[in-house]
Amino acid sequence: MADEKDLFEVCMSWFDHSRDDRSPDLHTVMKCVRFANIESYYFCDQVDSSPTLRQCDQLTQFFDKVRSYHMLPNRRAEV
């Protein structure tokens, strides 16, 4: 993979291929993406605003931490 953005897009393509069957595994697959290494603007515009990902409670909690990491660089050690 060239970067984490590419990995995220591959994961979303994998999920979109069979949403009903893959929905239970979405959280596990997305945990493999290092969202802290994705550009902040891309994270906010593409990842955090995704309706599909927002429906998963486990990912919503996880993305809250990632959002804090991107927004509060002085507190990254706490996240």
- pLDDT, one tens digit per residue, over 18-39 is 999 999 999 999 999 999 899 9
Burial of 62 (0-12, 13-18, 19+ CB in 10 A): middle
- Cα-Cα-Cα-Cα torsion 68, 71, 73, 77, nearest 10 degrees, comes to 0
Average pLDDT of span 39-60: 92
Range of the domain at 25: 4-78
Report the pLDDT value the prediction gives residue 1, as an integer from 0 to 100: 60
Report the pLDDT value the prediction gives residue 72, as an integer from 0 to 100: 80
Cβ-proximal residues to 9 (8 Å cutoff; 6+ apart), any chain: none
In whole angstroms, how far apart are CA 10 and each of 17, 32, 43? 11, 12, 15
pLDDT at residue 79 tops 70: no
Q: What's this model's pTM, rounded to 2 decimal places?
A: 0.84
What is the number of structural domains in the chain? Answer: 1
